[in-house]
Amino acid sequence: MVIPVHDVNPVRRTPWVTYALIAANVLVFLTTPGIAGSVTGGNDLARLCDLQAFMDHYAAIPRELIHHQVPRLVPTGGVGVGPHGPGCVVAPPGYDKSPALSVFTAMFLHGGWLHLLGNMLFLLIFGNNVEDRMGHIRFFLFYVVCGYAAGYGFALLNDSSSDPLIGASGAVAGVLGAYLVLYPRARVWVLVPFLVFLPLRLPAWLVLGSWFVLQAVYSSGHGVSGAGTVAYAAHVVGFVAGMLLAWPLKPGTPAPPEPPGLLFGRRARPRYTW
C-alpha cells in the first residue's frame, strides 16, 4: 500500500470547502466524548461508555437504515454494576434519532487518530482539484451524495448489523473516484514502503486504481482476516459513485501538467542512437 503525499496538479481557486470539511472533521473528533482519553492512551470504562453512547446516537447503524428500527434500550453514558459486574447503563433513548440524518453525522465521526488523519490526508491531496473542477457548492453536494451512497450501500450488504458505521471514508472514496476519472494522468508523489519509504512520482490512475482494487479484494473477505472493522464495501460503493457522478465533467476537464522526461517519478535517461 502506497502513501500519497502530494500531487502535481495546481488549482485555479482556493479549495475552501475541502479546508472546511477537514476543519469540521478535526473539530468533531476533538470534541467527541471519550476521544480525549484515547489520545493519551486511557481505556477506562467511563470513557468507553461515554463514547459508546455518543456513537449510538450519531453514528449510522445499518439495521436502523434499512429497517428503520431504533433500539428501545441504548447506552446512556453512565456506568453501573450489574449481575455480571461493572458495565454501561442502558435505558430508553432520550432523543429522537433520524436514521437518514445519521448517515450525514457519521461522516464526521472517527474512531481514532489514524482513522482521522488517513481520511483527511486523502481529502487534502485529491479534494482540492475535484472541488476546483466542480465548484464549491457542487463539490459539497457531491461529497455528501457519495457519503450517502457509501453508507446505504454498506447497509444494504449488512442489513442485520447493529455496529456503528462512522468515518469520512465513503465520501472521500467518492473524491478519489472522481479524481481518477478527471485526472488519470496527473502525477502523484507517494511513499512506497520497501525496507525504507521510497519517494516515487506515479500516475494517478496507478495510485488510485491500485487502491480501489485493494478495497474490492478486502471487501470480499480476501487478504484480511474477517475484513477487520473497516467497512471496505463502503469504500467501493463510494468510489464507484464518485466515478459515475464525475464522468459528465470529464470532456471539459483541462489536462494536468505533464513533467517532461519522467518515468514513474524519475527522469528518464536520454537514449542515443548510432
Tens digit of each residue's pLDDT (9 = 90 or more) over 174-226? 999 999 999 999 999 999 887 788 899 999 999 999 999 999 999 987 655 44
Q: Would you say residue 37 has pLDDT above 90? A: no
pTM over 0.95: no
- Region 42-66: mean pLDDT is 85
Q: How many CB atoms lie within 10 A of CB 15?
A: 20
Report which of residues 157 and 2 the model is more confident about: 157
Q: CB within 8 A of 208, min separation 6: which ones?
A: 126, 176, 177, 179, 180
First CA to last CA distance, the chain: 42
pLDDT for the residue 227: 45
Q: Would you say residue 40 has pLDDT above 70? A: no
Q: Which of 41-45, 85-89, 188-192, 264-268 has the lowest mean pLDDT?
A: 264-268
Q: What distance in Å separates the CA atoms of residue 168 and residue 244, rounded to the nearest whole number? A: 19
- pLDDT above 90: percentage of residues in the chain: 61
Q: How does residue 120 score in pLDDT terms, banded at 50, 70 and 90?
A: very high
Question: Is residue 164 within 8 Å of 61, Cβ to Cβ?
Answer: yes
Question: Is residue 59 within 8 Å of 43, Cβ to Cβ?
Answer: no
Q: How does residue 74 score in pLDDT terms, banded at 50, 70 and 90?
A: confident
Report which of residues 89 and 202 the model is more confident about: 202
Report which of residues 70 and 248 the model is more confident about: 248
Q: Which of 151, 136, 70, 69 is nearest to 106 (CA)?
A: 151
Residue 3's beta-bridge partner residues? 191
CA 213 to chain centre: 16
Question: Is residue 214 within 8 Å of 206, Cβ to Cβ?
Answer: no
Q: Which of 177, 170, 180, 119 is nearest to 144 (CA)?
A: 170
Helix segments in 92-161, DSSP class H:
99-106, 113-134, 136-157
CA 62 to chain centre: 17
Residue 196's beta-bridge partner residues? 194
pLDDT for the residue 27: 96
214-225 b/e with 16+ CB inside 10 Å = b? ebbebbeeeeee
Question: Is residue 247 within 8 Å of 218, Cβ to Cβ?
Answer: no
pLDDT tens digits along 234-246: 999 999 999 999 9
The rounded mean pLDDT for the chain is: 86
Given phi > 0 = left and psi -120 to 50 = alpha, else beta, which region is 221? Answer: left
Q: Would you say residue 8 has pLDDT above 90? A: yes
Q: Would you say residue 44 has pLDDT above 50? A: yes
Look at the block and give the residue holding cell 484480511.
224
Domains and CATH numbers, the chain: 22-32+98-254 (1.20.1540.10)
Question: Is residue 172 within 8 Å of 123, Cβ to Cβ?
Answer: yes
pLDDT tens digits along 129-172: 999 999 999 999 999 999 999 999 999 999 989 899 999 999 99
Residue 4's beta-bridge partner residues? 190
Q: What distance in Å separates the CA atoms of residue 225 and residue 222, rounded to the nearest whole number? A: 8
